[in-house]
Amino acid sequence: MAGKRASPFSSPLLKPPPPLTTPKVEEETEFWRKEVDENLKRLQSLLFGADQFLEKSDFSSAQILGLRLLGFLDSRSVAEADRGFIAPIRREVASKVDSALEGLVSDSDR
């Protein structure tokens, strides 16, 4: 073994670089995706429920779900870009809440 030279390819500088995504970054990305998925499911559920109750003329339930959805949207609007993105959805929901309120008023007038 005397006289045997180490391979030039065994230098510690020639080790493969570490992966670009570390486990911590992957966990944060997965958490972010999970949170977005849960928020989207909640938004869809509240919007679908409000629509269904309006169709069934259950105006009080439609109003409650619509108001919950407006609160949910407002709580998720942090930056001006968020508000701009959410604005069309918010207008639609506010219209549904107004429709539910009109239905409630017409019921009480009878």
Per-residue confidence (pLDDT) for residue 83, from 0 to 100: 86
- pLDDT at position 103: 87
Taking 90 as the threshold, does the pLDDT of residue 52 lie above it?
Answer: yes
Q: Residue 75: CA atoms inside 13 Å, Cβ hemisphere, count?
A: 9
Residue 2 three-state SS: coil
The band of 19, judged by pLDDT with boundaries at 50, 70 and 90, is low
The pLDDT of residue 36: 87
Measured CA to CA, the distance from residue 11 to residue 7 in angstroms comes to 8
| pLDDT on residue 29 | 78
pTM (predicted TM-score): 0.67
Give the tens place of pLDDT for each residue, 3-17. 556 555 555 555 666
Domains of the chain, by residue range, sit at 43-110
- Looking at residue 58, its pLDDT comes to 92
Q: pLDDT-based confidence at 50, cuts 50/70/90?
A: very high
Structure tokens at 12: 């510690």
- Residue with token string 């019921």: 107
